[in-house]
Structures are given as structure tokens and as C-alpha cells.
Structure 1
Amino acid sequence: MSGRRVGLERKKMLAGYVYIAPWAIGFALFMCYPLIYSLWLSFHEVVGVGNFELESVGWDNFNKAFVLDTQFIPLFISVIQDAVINTPLILVFSLFIAILLNHNIRGRAFFRAAFFLPVLIGSGLAMQQLLYAGVGKDTLVNGIGVPDEVFLYMGPTFSQIVFDMLSRLTIIFWKTGVQILLFLAGLQGVSVSLYESARCDGATEWEMFWKITLPLMTPIILLNLVYTCVDSFTDINNRMMIYIKDTAFTNIQMGYASGMGWIYFMFIFILLILVFVSTRRLVVYTGEK
């Protein structure tokens, strides 16, 4: 019996390798060399744009980011604050919507498509060009559209609070499509017999959520947590990403931009490691022994 179990586990492991093989091959062919070259470039600076002549500067690019650049640290802290606030809100909202959509309600297919529609629209080139041109920017990026006359009666302080809240809601609505889809897949994988047995024992819906749904959803929660963090830090409208891009291609400081990029990358990498380590004992895998 144990030999059969080992064989099944090995087949699952091989299936996992097969699924990640296309990504691994693509990374080796198209991403590995640019990644290594950007690390090498972070210790140099471009002195000749025409022939791309480089000069070694050692750790100066990294020192410049922390000591001389007055914009890097404030932008870095601002991006971290936005991610810390938005990530739990997105996870809680997407799980709540997924639980509602998992029930047999009228128009369920329509609402599923409606919540996933921003992912399809926002990832398109046409939408990105419209945002760059300023079309709908106040609504899609800065907050839910509200007439200016409404803010005049609120006063500057209260208007700013309302505007920030609406901006946060816009981000949550715009960024939850993938998370809702993943939560729905996880909810549909939970056996109905578990809920039926709990109801026979007199458990309430609230108790079933905390004792059955939430523990079994912890792997999906971890997956969505990692995805949301990466998506937040690498979003095209992220001010840190825009600053690095402008430094490289507008100011032609590619070495310094590479240095900032690697500082940013290492922070995200360490953050994800801490997430995995801190949640290791909280995640429930039903397939484990």
C-alpha cells in the first residue's frame, strides 16, 4: 500500500514538473540573460549612449539610491504603504464575493463575468493607451467618479478623506478579478459532504465557515496573497516602476535604474520568503499525511 502511495505521489510530482516546464524553458531562453545583464549593469553607468559605452562605478548606484536620491526612499515607502493597505482589503473582498458567487443565485454567470471583466479590459493595450492619454483617468485610477460640486460642500479635509476612500474602492474593484476566480476554484473543490455532515451535527453557517471553509481555503489564500503582492508591486501604474522606467529611458541613467530595480526586486523577494515562512504552519494541505 505504501509503495502504491509513493508511486502516486511521484506521478503528481512529475505532472507538476510538466506543467511548469514551459515557464522554465521560457525563463531560461528569454529572461535569464537579461536578468543577469541587468545585475551586471547595476554596477556600471552608461557614458556613451551611441555605442553604449559603460564605466564601472562599483556600489555607487546603490549608495545613490539610499543617500543622494531624495525621491527613491519616499516613493519606496509610499508603495509599501499602498500594498500593505490594499492587499488585505483585496483578499477579504474577493473571498467574500467568491463565497456569494459560489451559491446558486440568479445571474451567477453574469456576475462572475462582470467581476473578471476589468482583468480583460485592464490588461489590453488599448486600455493602457487610453489611460496614458488621460481618458477616464479620474475614474479608473484616482477614484470612483463623483461630481466636483459634491466635494465643495464637504470642505477640504473631509473631501480628501472621501476621495482617498473612493480611490481605494476603485483599486479593490479593479484588482480582484483573478483572486475571485481562484477563490471560486478553491470553494468548488471543497467536498459538499463536509458541509452536510456539519449540518447534521447542528453547525451553523458561521461555524462551517471558520471550521471548514477557511482552513481548506488557506492554500488559495496564500496563492492569492503572493499574487496580489506581486501584482501590486509590479503594476504598470506603480509609481516606483514608473520612476525606474523614466530614470532608465528618459534620463538615460540605465545603470542607476538597474540598481534601483535590483533593490526593489530584492525587497519583494525577501518579503515573499517571509510570507511563506510565516504562513507555513497556518496553511492546511488535505493531501498531506
Structure 2
Amino acid sequence: MTGKKLSLERKKMLAGYVYIAPWAIGFALFMLYPLIYSLWLAFHEVVGVGNFDLEPVGWGNFNKAFVLDTQFIPLFISVVQDAVINTPLILVFSLFIAILLNHKIRGRAFFRAAFFLPVLIGSGLAMQQLLYAGVGKDTLVNGIGVPEEVFLYMGPTFSQIVFDMLSRLTVIFWKTGVQILLFLAGLQGISLSLYESARCDGATEWEMFWKITLPLISPIILLNLVYTCVDSFTDINNRMMVYIKDTAFTKIEMGYASGMGWIYFLFIFLLLIIVFASTRRLVVYTGEK
């Protein structure tokens, strides 16, 4: 009995399952139960911390977030505004730097490492120690090279605008390491023969960018868009994440914190669905039939 040979599409599908299998197993073992329990906890309130006794409150925690809590809605809107502004700026800047680093220039390896260094410093314990040591927004902005005396001559309104712009630039510089590497991988995957053929037809660099580069790296743009959104909403310095954590472990309102967490999670989930739906026709997959 001769078995059927696997088609190329089926082999790619199986390879994809193999790659995601470690994540799926880890999620099922370590994340699935806490996720379900947090949803259960969102409809209860902890009345006895020692014994962790729960009292059903129905939709009370969700009602408290939208109606009673005066901090949740303004904080939520502020976090969304920051993400909406920072995400396109990060994508444009990282794509620009990736295009520059993709050319043969002196010190290319050094600049790649320099842009990726904040990813290593800003993760986990290292970033926490820097924050505890007082390396906050003020220190980072002053590190750009603007003396404090300059702000005194600008006036309170204009100096606040400049300070906010420099703070946002600091965030953009700090958050582009992974995106630059992904864009570099996408750019290096484009065949040079496409550019050579376009030059023979008289195409300019600007035309090749819009007709070749941008369409072929559109899957990487979508990947970076999703990554940047998730990274922005779940960052260690995100004020909503800090507020949820303080509510759970400082105020010991774990049920209410779970409710806010699920509201936050559902918003991010719906946002990603909108992103995928709105960009479905714009993304070019070269392997499609």
C-alpha cells in the first residue's frame, strides 16, 4: 500500500504546528487555568484573605469600573491615546532605520546592536532596578541633552509641550529594537533581482519603495503592528497595568482587579481583530496562489 505524499502546503502547515507546539503546551499547562480562574474571580469578591473566601457579586465589578470608579475611564482613555500616537511613530521610525541599516555602511553591526540594546535593558529585572534607582522619564529626557535652564525660559506651557515631545521621542527610541530586527529580516528576504529589473525599466528609488519594498514587507508591517500594540498595552510602565496590580495586591480587591483586567483584555482582543480585518486586503503574501 503506497501512502500519499504530503503536498507543500500540508508540509508548511505541519511545520507551523510544530513551531507553535511548545507555546501551546506551555499555555495549556501554566496559563489556561489561571486565565479561567481570573474570569471566575471577576464575578466574585474576596471577603476573607486568609481563607480566600469568595462572595458572588455578579456584574458588580464591571459596573464599578464603568460607573463608580472615577480613575478607571480617564486612565483607560489616556493609555489608549498614548498607544494610538506611539504605535505609528514607532513603526515609521523602525522601518526608516531598518532601511538605512540594510545598506552597506560602516559600523552596521554596531548600530544594529545599539538599537537592540534597550530591548535587553528594558526587560525584566534590569528595567525594574533602573526605575527603582530613579531613572525615570525626567532622567531619560535630560539625557537627550536639554538643560533644565532652557525650560525655564520657555514658559510653563511651551516647556510642557517640548517636554512631552522629548518624552515621546524617548519612548520611540526605547521601543524600536525588535521592530527594526523584524523589518531587517523582511528587507533581506526581498530578492535583489526585483530591484535590478525595476532599475532597468527606469524606476526611481521612491517608486521601488512603494511598488516593491512596501508591498513585500506588508506581512512584517502587520506583525510589527500587532507586536507594538500588545507591547504598548502590556508594558511594565503602563499606568493601567500598574493600577490593576495595585488594586489587586495593595488594596486587596482581587475580584475588582480581575474585572478591570478582563475589560482591558477584551478591548485589546477586539482591537487586534479590527487590525486584522482592516489590513486583510492590504497585506501581500507571496506564497499565495
Q: CA deviation at 1:259?
A: 0.1
Query: Could you say if the C-alpha distance between residues 204 and 2 of structure 1 is closer, same or farther in structure 2, counting changes exceeding 3 Å?
Result: farther
Query: Could you say if the C-alpha distance between residues 44 and 136 of structure 1 is closer, same or farther in structure 2, counting changes exceeding 3 Å?
Result: closer
Once the two structures are superposed, residues 134-190 of structure 1 have per-residue CA deviations (whole angstroms, 9 ceiling, x without a partner) of 235523389846321110011111101100000010000000000000000000000
Query: Could you say if the C-alpha distance between residues 215 and 174 of structure 1 is closer, same or farther in structure 2, counting changes exceeding 3 Å?
Result: same
Structure-2 separation of matches of 1:269 and 1:124: 24
Structure-2 separation of matches of 1:7 and 1:152: 69
Structure 1, unmatched stretches of 5+, are: none
Query: Could you say if the C-alpha distance between residues 12 and 123 of structure 1 is closer, same or farther in structure 2, counting changes exceeding 3 Å?
Result: same
SS state at 2:5 partner: helix
- Equivalences, count: 289
Q: CA deviation at 1:56?
A: 0.4
Provide the residue aligned with 1:80 in structure 2. Answer: 80
Once the two structures are superposed, residues 47-73 of structure 1 have per-residue CA deviations (whole angstroms, 9 ceiling, x without a partner) of 001111110000000000000000000
Provide the residue aligned with 2:6 in structure 1. Answer: 6
Structure-2 separation of matches of 1:238 and 1:249: 17
| TM-score of the superposed pair, with normalisation by structure 1 | 0.96
Which deviates more, 92-101 or 2-11?
Answer: 2-11
Query: Could you say if the C-alpha distance between residues 143 and 63 of structure 1 is closer, same or farther in structure 2, counting changes exceeding 3 Å?
Result: farther
Question: Is residue 287 of structure 2 the alignment partner of residue 284 of structure 1?
Answer: no
Structure-2 separation of matches of 1:177 and 1:34: 31
* Identity across the alignment (%): 91
SS state at 1:144 partner: coil
Structure-1 separation of matches of 2:2 and 2:129: 57
Contact 2:244 2:261 in 1 (8 A): yes
Once the two structures are superposed, residues 71-92 of structure 1 have per-residue CA deviations (whole angstroms, 9 ceiling, x without a partner) of 0000000000000000000000
Query: Could you say if the C-alpha distance between residues 55 and 141 of structure 1 is closer, same or farther in structure 2, counting changes exceeding 3 Å?
Result: farther
Query: Could you say if the C-alpha distance between residues 167 and 4 of structure 1 is closer, same or farther in structure 2, counting changes exceeding 3 Å?
Result: farther
Following superposition of structure 1 onto structure 2, how do residues 82-97 of structure 1 map, counting pairs within 5 Å?
82-97=82-97
Structure 2, unmatched stretches of 5+, are: none
Provide the residue aligned with 1:130 in structure 2. Answer: 130
Structure-2 separation of matches of 1:260 and 1:272: 19
Query: Could you say if the C-alpha distance between residues 3 and 109 of structure 1 is closer, same or farther in structure 2, counting changes exceeding 3 Å?
Result: farther
Contact 2:42 2:258 in 1 (8 A): yes
Provide the residue aligned with 1:203 in structure 2. Answer: 203
Once the two structures are superposed, residues 188-247 of structure 1 have per-residue CA deviations (whole angstroms, 9 ceiling, x without a partner) of 000000000000000000000000000001000000000000000000000000000000
Query: Could you say if the C-alpha distance between residues 164 and 179 of structure 1 is closer, same or farther in structure 2, counting changes exceeding 3 Å?
Result: same
Contact 2:137 2:167 in 1 (8 A): no
| TM-score of the superposed pair, with normalisation by structure 2 | 0.96
Question: Is residue 224 of structure 2 the alignment partner of residue 232 of structure 1?
Answer: no
Query: Could you say if the C-alpha distance between residues 109 and 78 of structure 1 is closer, same or farther in structure 2, counting changes exceeding 3 Å?
Result: same
Structure-2 separation of matches of 1:75 and 1:200: 55
Query: Could you say if the C-alpha distance between residues 184 and 263 of structure 1 is closer, same or farther in structure 2, counting changes exceeding 3 Å?
Result: same
Q: CA deviation at 1:129?
A: 1.9
Q: CA deviation at 1:4?
A: 10
Q: CA deviation at 1:132?
A: 2.6
Question: Is residue 282 of structure 2 the alignment partner of residue 260 of structure 1?
Answer: no
Structure-2 separation of matches of 1:252 and 1:122: 28
Q: CA deviation at 1:128?
A: 1.2
Which deviates more, 180-189 or 119-128?
Answer: 119-128
Structure-2 separation of matches of 1:55 and 1:172: 44
Contact 2:44 2:55 in 1 (8 A): yes
Q: CA deviation at 1:23?
A: 0.3
Provide the residue aligned with 1:144 in structure 2. Answer: 144
